Every structure is written in C-alpha cells, then in structure tokens.
Amino acid sequence: MQRIIEITEDGSHTLYLPELDEHYHSTHGAIRESLHVYLEAGLHHCHKEEINLLEIGFGTGLNAFLTLLDTEKSGKIVRYTSLEQYPVSIADAEQFNYSKLLDPSKEEIFMQLHSSLWGEWVEMTPAFHLRKLQMDASNLDNFQPETPFDVIYYDAFAPEKQPTMWREEIFNRLYTLSNQGAVLTTYCAKGAVRRMLQSAGYQVTRLPGPPGKREILKAIK
C-alpha cells in the first residue's frame, strides 16, 4: 500500500493514501486536530489517576505520542491499547516530524512507539504503557481486553472510505467494553454516526471542531 508523507497547515506531517484518496489527519493541521479531538475532548474528560485507553487506528503514532507527552504533565498513568491492521513502516516513521515540533528530546521514544513489539505490553515510560494489536478492528467479537476502557479514540478512516468501520455492531461492542462514564471521541460528526452511537447507549454531544471542521462528536457511556 503506497503512502505519501505530506505537510499539513500546522507544519506537522500526515500520510496520504492514493488508493483510498484519503489522509490520515486533517490537512488543516495533524497535531492541532489530534490535540483537539482526542486529548482535549477525550483524555482530559477522564479524571481517573490510572486510565485504560483504546485507540482505533494507531496510524502514524501521533495520538499515542501526544498522550505519552501529556502524562508527563498530568502525572496520570495511561495503559494504551491500539488496534491497527496495516502498520506504517519504520522508514516512514523515521521521517515524521512530530518529535521535532513537540519535544526533540523525545525522538527516540517516538520511534520506540513504532518499533516496539506487537501483541505485548511495553512500558514506554513509567506512566505510559503501550500494547499494539495488529488486527481488523471492524470485527471486535473476539477482542477481549483484560479491563474495561475509560477513554476511546475512534480514529478510523472516513465512513465513505472505510464503511466497515462505521457500523452499529462496532459501537455496541465498544460500549460493552467500556466503564460507566467512559468517553469516546471521533472527528466524524455525520448524523448516521451520531445515531449509531446513541443507539448503542451513549449520550452524544456535538462539539466545535478544529480548524477546517465544523463539529466533532463526544460520546459518554
């Protein structure tokens, strides 16, 4: 699968997939979008000292990296499970400029996010433990995490590009796998997605989106 590294408007990298005609992030700013949608609307909603977090779509590792950096400021401990069917190459990851823009001293740990073993818990820092699972997240029937989740980053490709990732069965399963009060956030604010989340049992709120996007969704169990 061909991937092309591109610069977004905030100077940070994203990947473009010609096969799907799809970007991994908003072209208006990858870092800006991830901070807005997943950390500010999602992670920062959870007030627990130890957080079990699920990410749908590891992608470039940006969400994981931002979350790791956030634990250094918050003092919280995050156990971060990320599902990804098609991991990016180490060669691509070496070119991403996230650590250069966010914290140059963390370049090595950013690369460790990508090079760490799949299928095992890895302590990246005392406050950030990562487990990457290479799997098709469109079918979560056999996904049995040890503990329920407090935060979910739902970061699949857009419904028109990857419709199998936007089905009611998935959101029903995620609801079951979450603690009471858990928060799910996604950049996609389409009415059909909002209704599926509501049907699963979530209380759904539309929030203002990052630059280039009018709204995002925040769903609370």
pLDDT tens readout for residues 5-33 = 999 999 999 999 999 999 999 999 999 99
20 lies in a domain?
Answer: no
pLDDT in tens, 94-144: 999 999 999 999 999 999 999 999 999 999 999 999 999 999 999 999 999
Alpha carbon of 169 to those of 82, 98, 158, 172: distances in Å?
A: 19, 34, 17, 5
* Domains of the chain: total: 1
Is the whole model's pTM more than 0.75, yes or no?
yes
Question: How far is C-alpha 182 from the chain's CA centre?
Answer: 15
85 lies in a domain?
Answer: yes
Q: To the nearest whole percent, how much of the chain has pLDDT over 70? A: 100
169 lies in a domain?
Answer: yes
Q: Tell me the average pLDDT of the chain.
A: 97
5 lies in a domain?
Answer: no
Q: pLDDT at position 74, please?
A: 96
Q: Which of 22, 51, 28 is nearest to 39 (CA)?
A: 51
pLDDT confidence tier of residue 1, bands split at 50, 70 and 90: confident
Domain span at residue 40? 29-220
Q: Is the pLDDT of residue 189 over 90?
A: yes
22 lies in a domain?
Answer: no
98 lies in a domain?
Answer: yes
CATH number at residue 88: 3.40.50.150
**Contact call for residues 168 and 199 (beta carbons, < 8 A):** yes
17 lies in a domain?
Answer: no
For residue 22, the one-letter residue type is E
3 lies in a domain?
Answer: no
Ramachandran sector of residue 67 (left: φ over 0; alpha: ψ -120 to 50; beta: rest): alpha
* Distant-in-sequence, close-in-space partners of 94: CB < 8 Å, separation ≥ 6: 111
Q: Is the pLDDT of residue 167 over 90?
A: yes
For residue 137, the one-letter residue type is A
